[in-house]
Amino acid sequence: MQKKMNRMKLACVAALVSQCLMASSVSFAQVKETGVSKKAPTISAAMQATVDRISADSMRGHLTFLASDLLEGRDTPSRGLDLAAEYIAAQFRAIGLEAVGNDGYFQTADWNVLKKEIRRRPGAPVPPAEAEPTTPTIVRNVIGVLRGSDPVLRDSYVLVTAHYDHVGIKANEVGDKIFNGANDDASGTVSVIELAKVFASMKERPKRSIVFMTFFGEEKGLVGSRYYGKNPIFPIEKTIAGINIEQVGRTDDSEGPQVASLGVTGFDFSDVGAIIKQAGEKTGINVWKHPVNSDKYFGASDNQALADQGIPAHTISVAYAFPDYHRPGDEAHKIDYDNMVKVNRAVAVAVEQIAHSPAIPKWDDKNPKAAKYLEAWKQRNPNK
Ligand SMILES: [Zn+2]
């Protein structure tokens, strides 16, 4: 019987099997223990068609604008940041995401208020005296949602995030003074846009809702993500995971080239690392734990602000360190868009896996580094 099966039928069987696996109630922990089967893991035909729509040209188009000199390095707050926010919202609108901010696609905050909070942080430098501003300085997280297909699970959420701010212009720089932040983190921002586009195009959406969001103020100390964490638009206890995308455009890692490869921060703090690794196996991406930076950089991006609220949230990156990091030379022409397509295929498969499965990712209760996040999770979910 198997011999008579043509390739098409085999592909269909493979698709069914993978759908079955996704729909099964086997916990991620069990999957991890069972290990990887000898046969190369596959994705469903529908998911393959979805990831095939991730486009290098599309990401190049968005990134070339966001990292252009016109936006003056997207400092928080600045006109360049506002332009970027409006541009991202325009993409979300074109894609058809549902606007769920307090102002359309924007979750707004007053920078003058947030600035005071930053100054009250322990160890913060004492700023020079300033006149009290009389009008608010509005800053924006940009947020849209794709509702899930399951009548019950659609009230739970998976976050796909990146920060769209950077460090602006530095007047005392010799030569080029604009810090374009092409890799940090226009690359993550356009990945969020592209992933929103391909998920919106799916005929049958994942069961859970997917929230696409880009943050202001990461470079000022995770300010936008902390603001969301304290003023969530969707209940934190219903937000089951977060994948934050940072520095996925440059393959010239300071420690050597990183092609078809991505790292996860806090790799084994929760099940999310193993899920992304599995997605990498299905899409030909090496997903790895950097021996030092995986744990060290867990607190270096916006996932930290969400983890502090209990959400299993991690950052994926291609290069943790690269030659133009926080320099004016972090420019669009140095981005490897074909590699970004590969990386985002793995991210898409991981997001779909989490958003479609009845099981939810868990913090690892045996990892002491995850203890405080697990504690925060338990406070949100006292009966579980
Ligand atoms: Zn960054």
User: What protein residues have CB closer than 5 angstroms to ion ligand 1?
Assistant: 184-185, 246
Whether residue 351 sits in one domain with residue 330: yes
CA of 253 to the centre of ligand 1 (A): 15
Q: What are phi and psi of 244, to 5 degrees?
A: -105, 140
Q: What is the CATH number of the domain that holds 74?
A: 3.40.630.10
pLDDT, mean of residues 293-298: 95
Question: CA 276 to CA 222: how far, in whole Å?
Answer: 24
pTM over 0.85: yes
CA of 323 to the centre of ligand 1 (A): 14
Token couple for 368 = 């002491």
Whether residue 27 sits in one domain with residue 102: no
Token couple for 224 = 């936008």
Q: What are phi and psi of 211, to 5 degrees?
A: -105, 125
Whether residue 225 sits in one domain with residue 357: yes
CB-CB neighbours of 91 under 10 Å: 22
Does residue 305 surpass a pLDDT of 90?
yes
Token couple for 377 = 């999770």
pLDDT, mean of residues 60-77: 98
pLDDT tens digit sequence for 190-248? 999 999 999 999 999 999 999 999 999 999 999 999 999 999 999 999 999 999 999 99
CA of 247 to the centre of ligand 1 (A): 7
Quick one: pLDDT band at residue 39, thresholds 50, 70, 90? Answer: low
Whether residue 260 sits in one domain with residue 118: yes
pLDDT (0 to 100) of residue 38: 58
Does residue 6 surpass a pLDDT of 60?
no
pLDDT, mean of residues 73-100: 98
CA of 270 to the centre of ligand 1 (A): 22
Does residue 30 surpass a pLDDT of 90?
no
Whether residue 23 sits in one domain with residue 99: no
CA of 362 to the centre of ligand 1 (A): 25
Quick one: pLDDT band at residue 132, thresholds 50, 70, 90? Answer: confident
Whether residue 56 sits in one domain with residue 19: no
Whether residue 84 sits in one domain with residue 21: no
CA of 321 to the centre of ligand 1 (A): 11
pLDDT, mean of residues 291-299: 95
**Residue span of the structural domain in which 18 resides:** 1-40
pLDDT tens digit sequence for 249-279? 999 999 999 999 999 999 999 999 999 999 9
Does residue 19 surpass a pLDDT of 90?
no
pLDDT, mean of residues 105-113: 97
Whether residue 220 sits in one domain with residue 355: yes
CA of 222 to the centre of ligand 1 (A): 10
Q: What are phi and psi of 335, to 5 degrees?
A: -85, 140
Does residue 78 surpass a pLDDT of 60?
yes
Whether residue 159 sits in one domain with residue 16: no
CA of 382 to the centre of ligand 1 (A): 34
CA of 378 to the centre of ligand 1 (A): 29
CA of 85 to the centre of ligand 1 (A): 16
CA of 186 to the centre of ligand 1 (A): 9
CA of 322 to the centre of ligand 1 (A): 12
Question: CA 139 to CA 120: how far, in whole Å?
Answer: 19
CA of 155 to the centre of ligand 1 (A): 30
CA of 152 to the centre of ligand 1 (A): 35
CA of 219 to the centre of ligand 1 (A): 7
Does residue 21 surpass a pLDDT of 50?
no
Whether residue 80 sits in one domain with residue 17: no
CA of 184 to the centre of ligand 1 (A): 4
pLDDT (0 to 100) of residue 29: 43
CA of 245 to the centre of ligand 1 (A): 9
Question: CA 261 to CA 280: how far, in whole Å?
Answer: 8
Whether residue 30 sits in one domain with residue 55: no
CA of 108 to the centre of ligand 1 (A): 21
Question: CA 376 to CA 267: how far, in whole Å?
Answer: 19
Residue that is written with structure tokens 């300033």 in the block: 130
Whether residue 221 sits in one domain with residue 168: yes
Domains contained in the chain, number: 2
